Amino acid sequence: MNKRKNTYLTIGSIIVAIGLISFALYYSKCHGDECDSKISRKGNGQKEEVKKEVQEVEELFPKMIPTVIKEQILNNEVVLVDVREDSEWAEGHIMGAKHIALGNINIETTKDLPHDKQIYVYCRSGKRAGEAEIKLKSLGFGNAENLGGIIYWQGRGGELVK
């Protein structure tokens, strides 16, 4: 009986080991679009990788163009709302932006926002801005749109003010 038990333990251990090795091999390979990114490294190194990342950001946040946004703010065509926390705002924000932290978005804090202009919301990466867009739309601001994150703004040459 003991010999049979040891055999089962050995076979079970081998099966688990094969499963773990298979998982590790599968996980380390690229899948789908990321394969194109890894293949492009073979040619021009990091340049192609960075180019692909920039294209992905442009597809995700196509309106995050600092020169265009600055002009739209100066011409009073859009309202820019920073939904980051107070400490993040103090570290630097986009000139002309209004500050309403995501957790503070409600009827009272948005009463001064216009209903007839495009409202762009941004945060650090775009995630909270997406949540803010949903909140603003639920408050009747159908013109609210996730602009993206301040990291993309800076990555595209946009400056911050304190």
Task: Specify the amino acid at residue 108.
Answer: E
Q: Which tokens in the block code for residue 2?
A: 């003991």
Closest to 109 in 3D by CA, of 147, 83, 143: 83
pLDDT digits (tens, 9 = 90+) for 93-131: 999 999 999 999 999 999 999 999 999 999 999 999 999
Angle, CA of 112, 160 and 53, to the nearest 5°: 105
- Name the catalytic one among 78, 113, 123, 129: 123
pTM to 2 decimals?
0.64
Higher local confidence (pLDDT), 141 or 58? 141
End-to-end CA distance of the chain: 76
CB contact burial 10-44 (16+ within 10 A = b; e otherwise)? eeeeeeeeeeeeeeeeeeeeeeeeeeeeeebeeee
Residue 61 · residue 148 · CB < 8 Å: yes
Could you tell me what percentage of the chain is helix, strand and coil, using 3-state DSSP and rounding each to the nearest 5?
A: 55, 15, 30
Is 123 marked active-site?
Answer: yes
Has residue 15 got a pLDDT over 90?
Answer: no
Q: Going by CATH, does the domain composed of 66-155 fall within 3.30.470.10?
A: no
Confidence (pLDDT) at 60: 55
Closest Cα to residue 110, out of 128, 70, 137? 137
Ranges of each domain in the chain: 1-30, 33-60, 66-155
